[in-house]
Amino acid sequence: MEKIINDVLKINSLDLEEAGDEKVVEKVFKTPWLSNWKKNNIGIQRKEISYERKQKWIFKNSQVYRFDRLVDTCAFKLGIDATMDIFGMLGRETGLKECNALMKMCIEQCWETNDENVAMEQISQVLELFILMKDQGFPIEEESYGPFLMLLIDKGMVEEFYFFYGIIKDTNPSEIARLGYYDMRLYIRVNDEEKVKELCNCICTNDGGDENINLRENYLLALCECDQKNYLLQLLETVDITTLSSLGNLVSIFKSLGRLSLESYVEKFLLVLKNCDYGAEDISTLIFSYATSIPNLAVEDVVSKFKTLHTVMEMSPSSTSYERLIVYSCNLLQVQHAIDIVDQLCDEGFTVSINTIHSMLNASEANLDFNLVQRIYSLIYHLGLTPTNETFRRMIHLSVKMKDFDGAFGLLNDLKKLNLTPTASMYNAIMDGYFQEKNISGAIMVLEQMELADVKPDSATYSCLISNCGNEDQITKCYEEKKVAGIQVSKQVYMELIDAYAKCGQFEKTKQDS
């Protein structure tokens, strides 16, 4: 391995002709670290444990995704009926999970096609699935019917909508109130003014029990989400905002008020909720929902509106709403505004989560504001937060982006002071940065620092080295050494191999690897 990396680095830089750099190379490879690290039983044991944990995590978090892919593939190749038959042959009954997965695929294909015959074929498949669910006694709930009804609404398929509407209502009568939401959405979509007015009149009446109250609430939500300003202006005068069943529904209404710039109603409703002893946390959430929904408003104006409404309500913003405002600013790549909000939080005695800091670091990278990393790092300590390995990895990455290698190594030293273990990915980022700058001695120094920290090279380490090879022999030797080290071959390594061989003119080799 010593000779491989030595050759790799010599090929790519004339700097190694200098005596000082040659001594550095010699010093790095006097240790058996790179070529013999597999002999270290503790290291192998750690690797195996880490790999086992990772596999368990991957299985747990990708099980649903892999099942959906299996269903999609079978249904695409064989059709819905054949797929259900196959599940039966395998001894697996078509349950609710399978029905929902198949239904999702039918809906996606219906969205994608412009062919009416294909669309009707997919709709008939959904009908079969609804009937199957009904026959097997499965409740047809919104998870199943919601996306499909929205498809029919968007395509203006009124007859088909009410056909399935009837099936759902008969199968699951408890969904009648929620179906009212889709009912109103359909009439709005097809511009049936008479029906919309009729349902609006239902909202204004106070007759009936809880079921009618829920039905009227769903009519109102549909109007809000479709931003039907004229109807809302009439209804908002009579609606009792305190009767809404959930915070989520209130949020939908306040977002609509923001999109329609109806601030007078916002203040009116907030005062009503406050006088009814509505929670300060929830009121702050509603203010955030309104302020961030106002169109064409700069971030600083959103922040100003957010603060002003809290002042009007004679209350302080909740820390949760502040964090949401920070993330909102980061999503718009306004990191400086996010930092200003954090500064204010410090002054008011609040703090934020480390995940919010991660959002700021991500936005800094996306907006090329690499120089903000030190400012954000100082905020972490000012807020008394405990950075994680992931925090340091992101900050090191940003430091390398701005070519601040001393700062990157300083972060590594700080990480060790917190008894956190540096990872190969952190060193890889620095090494790759040195390679991009053609600073080969710097890249060698990173390898030396990895050895001193007892951090073992991973697949990405070898990928970085392979990508900087200068001829076929070096590529082959480096790749073989990686296999000897027991590191699993990844897609990234194969891509680097193909690229490295192509640079050397070995196009036949690229075909073999691909």
Confidence of residue 356 (pLDDT cuts 50, 70, 90): very high
Q: Rounded CA gap, 118 and 101, in Å?
A: 19
Per-residue pLDDT band for 26 (boundaries 50, 70, 90) equals very low
Distances (CA, A) of 376 to 218, 337, 380, 403: 44, 12, 6, 17
Q: How far apart are CA 407 and CA 16, in angstroms?
A: 25
Work out the angle between the directed axes of helices 389-401 and 405-417 (0-180°, nearest 10).
Answer: 170
* Per-residue model confidence (pLDDT) at position 314: 93
Question: Could you tell me which residues come within 8 angstroms of residue 240 by beta carbon, excluding any fewer than 6 positions away?
Answer: none
Handedness of CA 11, 16, 22, 24 (dihedral sign): negative
**pLDDT for the residue numbered 502:** 60
Look at residue 297 in the predicted model and tell me its pLDDT: 93
Alpha helices, DSSP H, located in 113-141 = 116-135
Over range 420-425, report the average pLDDT: 90
Residues 6+ apart with CB under 8 A from 499: 467
Spatial distance between the Cα atoms of 198 and 51, rounded to a whole number of angstroms: 62
Angle at 45 between CA 42 and CA 49, to 5 degrees: 140
Q: Point out the least confidently predicted range of 17-31, 332-346, 413-427, 473-487.
A: 17-31
Compute the CA torsion angle 44, 47, 52, 54 (nearest 10 deg). -170
Q: Show the tokens assigned to 362.
A: 């991500």
Q: Which of 459, 389, 378 lies closest to 426 in space, CA to CA?
A: 389
Q: What is the DSSP string of 338-380?
A: HHHHHHHHHHTT----HHHHHHHHHHHHHTT-GGGHHHHHHHH
Total length of the chain: 514
Place of tokens 């027991």: 486
- Of 257-271, 323-337, 462-476, the least confident: 462-476
In angstroms, the Cα distances linking 503 to 41, 235, 314, 423 are: 37, 69, 67, 30
pLDDT over 70 percentage in the chain: 71
Give the pLDDT mean for 180-187. Answer: 95
d(CA 390, CA 354): 10
Give per-residue pLDDT as tens, 310-322: 999 999 999 899 9
Q: For the beta carbon of residue 60, count every other beta carbon within 10 angstroms.
A: 9
Per-residue pLDDT tens digits for 103-119:
888 888 888 888 888 88
Q: Is the pLDDT of residue 88 over 80?
A: no
Contact by Cβ (8 Å): 220, 235: yes
> Are the CB atoms for 448 and 21 separated by under 8 Å?
no
Q: Quick check: 29 and 453 in contact, CB under 8 A?
A: no
Which residue, among 280, 320, 325, has the nearest Cα to 306 in the 3D structure?
Answer: 325
Q: Which amino acid is at 260?
A: L
Place of tokens 């920290």: 453
- Distance between alpha carbon 46 and the CA centroid of its chain, in Å? 29
- pLDDT reported for residue 485: 59
pLDDT for 59 beyond 50: no
Q: How many CB atoms lie within 10 A of CB 191?
A: 9
- Report the range of poorest mean pLDDT among 216-220, 328-332, 396-400, 507-511: 507-511
CA distance 204 to 157: 28
Q: Distance between CA atoms of 97 and 372, rounded to whole angstroms?
A: 46
Mean per-residue pLDDT, 481-503: 59
Q: Is it the case that residue 484 has pLDDT exceeding 70?
A: no
In 52-137 the beta strands, taken as DSSP E runs, fall at none
For residues 410-438, average pLDDT: 90
Average pLDDT of every residue of the chain: 79
Strand, coil or helix: what is 437? Answer: coil
pLDDT value, residue 147: 92
Q: What whole-number distance in Å separates Cα of residue 355 and Cα of residue 361?
A: 10
Q: Is the dihedral angle over the CA atoms 30, 31, 37, 40 positive or is it negative?
A: positive
Query: How far lies 277's CA from each of 242, 273, 319, 393, in Å?
Result: 10, 7, 19, 45
Q: Are 148 and 103 in contact (CB under 8 A)?
A: yes
Kindly state the greatest CA–CA separation across the chain.
93
Q: In sequence order, what E strands does 366-498 have?
A: none
